Amino acid sequence: DVQLQASGGGLVQAGGSLSVSCAASGFSSDDVAIGWFRQAPGKEREGISCISIHDGKTYYADSVKGRFTISSDNAKNTVYLQMNSLEPEDTAVYYCGADYLFTGWARCTPDLYDFWGQGTQVTVSS
């Protein structure tokens, strides 16, 4: 069974940095896309960054481009999201999602991903 285990997050002041990790298991190949998504209170879940494990191609939402960096350690089957210059607007529950590669994976659209880890809270104080 596919499992995703998210960790990290926490509380930080505006301008600070945090990282979150997503350990994946159960996939039968590395033709997988893994992404980070977030959901703020009263808002829909949005994709903020996704990565293709096989070739390292990445996607970033405009709202995080230049501040967040997604990376993967294939030996550990883990995807990381380094978040710098955090803003209060980044406050949300962050989820990792994954699926076998499909056309359109790079749109990083939550509805297109089938496997999900538990959320981890990121809170940025002003």
Amino acid at 41: P
- CB burial class (10 A; 0-12, 13-18, 19+) of residue 122? buried
Q: How many residues does the chain have?
A: 126
pLDDT digit string, tens, across residues 17-35: 999 999 999 999 889 999 9
**Which residue ranges of the chain lie beneath pLDDT 50?**
none
**Residue 106 pLDDT:** 84
Alpha-carbon distance of 2 to 74, in angstroms, equals: 16
